[in-house]
Amino acid sequence: MLCAGIDAGSRATKVVLIDSSSGRVMGRAIEDQGVAQERLAADLLERTCRETGVEPGAIGAIVATGYGRNAVRFADTTITEITCHARGVAHLAPAVRTVIEIGGQDSKCILLEEGGRVRDFAMNDRCAAGSGRFLEVVAARLGVDLATLGDLSRGSTKPAAISNMCVVFAETEIIGLLAEGVSTPDIAAGVQSAIAQRVAALAGRTVRGPVCFTGGVALQGGMVRALQTVLACEVWVPDLPQFTGALGAALLAARLRHKDPASPSL
């Protein structure tokens, strides 16, 4: 029996397809988010099935998560991204007790109990501060792509102090720093440090190790280093952190079919 998880995020839609009997990941795919979210999710799932060599009719259960989850009406049910990220991380690394997820439009800190149950969480969803969108704006202002921004901070000798986390005001502040001759590596390092400090404030004093960093922003090495510095602990990143929510959704879909698969590896 095959089960699917669809993470209809604010910036991208992700699909993970698993064999519920063995827990093996059969396929995965990602696509930038669009206006017709349900059609995009359906096309992405169909493409995943085609590339995997399975029939869509063989899918026994589908769970949707993420910002656009309610738009995926063909899913059997919807589950919050908090629960799905917790489930995905718990299977990839059962010892993890704190999950930090930075997505396109928000950031989250999830505290886990033994067995991957959610004990508590905090979420910043009121503005784009501390999110992937914030980093996109910064990258555009510095004249680099998002992938380059992640490593740009390696060349920093004195990270710039970024006092504004509002996207509009921070962009204005960065323009001023560039006019003053502050280097782009120092600005990048300053932005990453500011985001890490905001996430740490969101988590408060509740961070317990081991810590896992998920979401698309976790692909940026500079953000990983900034979080490790601010939290004063090691931060583990899965091989494909952008798929953690979709993986958790697929695992929960398998549970809908009264199966609890072995831990898959992305």
Domains in the chain: boundaries? 1-93+243-266, 95-237
Please say whether the beta carbons of 25 and 16 come within 8 A.
Answer: yes
Which residues have C-beta within 8 Å of that of residue 15, sequence separation ≥ 6?
A: 4, 5, 6, 7, 27, 28, 29, 30, 41, 44, 45, 48, 246
User: What integer pLDDT is reported at residue 259 of this predicted model?
Assistant: 54
Please say whether the beta carbons of 93 and 208 come within 8 A.
Answer: no
User: What integer pLDDT is reported at residue 228 of this predicted model?
Assistant: 93
**C-alpha 192: how far from its chain's center?**
16
CATH of domain 95-237: 3.30.420.40
φ/ψ of 202, rounded to 5, equals -65, -40
Q: What does each of the 266 residues of the chain score in pLDDT, given as a tens digit? A: 899 999 998 889 999 999 988 778 999 999 988 788 999 999 999 999 999 998 988 899 999 999 899 999 999 999 999 999 999 999 999 999 999 998 777 888 999 998 888 999 988 755 556 677 788 888 888 888 877 887 888 888 898 988 766 667 778 888 899 999 999 999 999 888 888 888 888 877 678 889 999 998 888 888 899 999 989 899 999 999 999 999 999 999 998 876 554 445 45
Do the domains 95-237 and 1-93+243-266 match in fold?
yes
User: What integer pLDDT is reported at residue 139 of this predicted model?
Assistant: 85
Strands, sheet with 98-102, edge to edge from the N-terminal-most edge strand:
118-124, 107-112, 98-102, 211-214, 235-236
Query: 10 Å Cβ neighbour count for 127?
Result: 15
User: What integer pLDDT is reported at residue 266 of this predicted model?
Assistant: 54
User: What integer pLDDT is reported at residue 220 of this predicted model?
Assistant: 85
The verdict on domain 1-93+243-266 having CATH code 3.40.50.2300 is no
